Amino acid sequence: MPKIIVIGSLAYDSIYTPSGAAERALGGSSNYFSLSASMYSKVGVVGVIGEDYHASDIDMLKERGVDVSGIKREKGKTFHWAGRYEGDLNEAQTLTTELNVFESFKPTLPDGFRDAEYVFLANIDPVLQMSVLEQVKKPKLVAMDTMNFWISSKLSDLKSVLKKVDVLLINEGEAKILTKEANAIAASYKLIELGPKAVVIKRGEYGFVLFYDKHYFILPAYPISKVVDPTGAGDTFAGGFIGYLAKSGSGLDLETLKRACVQGCLMASFTVQDFSVRALLNLTEAQVEKRFKEYMKVVTVS
C-alpha cells in the first residue's frame, strides 16, 4: 500500500525553450511528482492514459517502486500539452492543450489507495479533487495545487476544496490572481484565510515562501547557471516536499515544513537542468545529499 498518492495528469509534452526543443516528451504532474516523491517514500498514482502511451513509460515508474494500479488506459490519445518559454523562464506560453482521454477522466481510487496517509491533489479540476477527498479515509495530510484556469472558471468549487486541505502549493502568479494581492507576502495571509493551514508559494528561480502558524520561511532557489526546461519544476517541488513529510512521518510543524521545502527546492533544481523528466530518472540519494550540502553553503551565514 502506498504511503503517498497523487492524482493528476500523465502526459506527453512538446516543449520549446531557448535551449532547444523536446517533442512529445514524457510529462504530466503525476510523473514529475511521483519520480520526485519516490526518492523518499512509496507512491501510488491515479490517472488516465491513452492507447498511445508507451508501456516503457509505465515500466519506468514501476522500476522506481511506484504503484501504478491506479492508472487506467482508455481508448483514444493521451493528454498532450505544448508550450514555449521565451525570456522569462518562470512563465510558459501555452501553444496547444489537447485533453484527449483526460477530458472524461473520473478518478477512482483502488481500495489499497484509500488508506494513504499523504494525498497530493495535483493541478486538475477542483470537482475531481473533491471527489478524491470523498474517497480517501483518514489521511494524515492533504496537499493541493491549482492554476489560473480553475481560479477563473471554477472559483466556488476551488474554494470548497481549499477548506478541506492542509497545505496549498501554488505558484506566485496564481497566488496573486487568487487573492488579488500584489506580492507573495500579502497573498499568503489571504490564502490561509481560505482554509489551508500552511501555504507554500513557489517562485521559480527565486525560490519559495512558506507561511505557517503566523511564521514565514523564505529561501532562494538552488543556483542553476543554465535552466534548460522549467516544465514540471513545481510538481517536482511538491514531490520532494510531501515525500520528505511522509519519510519523516510528520504532520504539520514549522521545522519539518521548513526542511520539506528545502527538499522540494533541491528536487526542482535537478528537473530544470534537462528536458522532461530526464534529470530525475537516474537521480540518486547521494546526489541529492551532495546538493543539499552545497545549498546550505549558499543560504547559511557562518
29-78 pLDDT per residue, tens: 999 999 999 999 999 999 999 999 999 999 999 999 999 999 999 999 99
Rounded Cα distance, 33 and 30, in Å: 5
Q: Tell me what percent of the residues of the chain surpass a pLDDT of 70.
A: 100
Domain that holds residue 286: 4-299
pTM of the complete model: 0.96
Read off the pLDDT of each residue in 204-233 and give the average, rounded to a whole number: 95
Rounded Cα distance, 238 and 261, in Å: 9
| 3-class DSSP assignment, residue 269 | helix
Q: Is the pLDDT of residue 250 over 80?
A: no
Rounded Cα distance, 96 and 300, in Å: 42
Helix, strand, coil percentages for the chain (3-state, nearest 5): 40, 25, 35
- Quick check: 269 and 232 in contact, CB under 8 A? no
Mean pLDDT across the chain, nearest whole number?
95
CA distances to 7, 35, 174, 180, 225 from 151, rounded to whole Å, are 19, 27, 8, 11, 33
Cell of 125: 479540476
Q: Is the pLDDT of residue 89 over 90?
A: no
Rounded Cα distance, 173 and 96, in Å: 21
Domains identified in the chain, total number? 1
CA distances to 21, 82, 84, 288, 298 from 16, rounded to whole Å, are 4, 8, 5, 27, 30
Cell of 246: 511522509
Q: Is the pLDDT of residue 208 over 90?
A: yes
CATH of the domain at 8: 3.40.1190.20
Rounded Cα distance, 121 and 116, in Å: 13
CA distances to 150, 162, 181, 184, 211 from 198, rounded to whole Å, are 20, 11, 18, 14, 6
Read off the pLDDT of each residue in 271-299 and give the average, rounded to a whole number: 96
- Quick check: 282 and 274 in contact, CB under 8 A? no
77-80: long-range contacts, CB 8 A cutoff, minimum separation 24: 77/50, 77/51, 77/52, 77/101, 78/10, 78/11, 78/12, 78/49, 78/50, 78/52, 78/53, 78/102, 79/9, 79/10, 79/11, 79/12, 79/28, 79/50, 80/11, 80/12, 80/13, 80/14, 80/24
pLDDT band at 301 (very low <50, low <70, confident <90, very high): confident
Read off the pLDDT of each residue in 197-214 and give the average, rounded to a whole number: 95
- Quick check: 72 and 49 in contact, CB under 8 A? yes
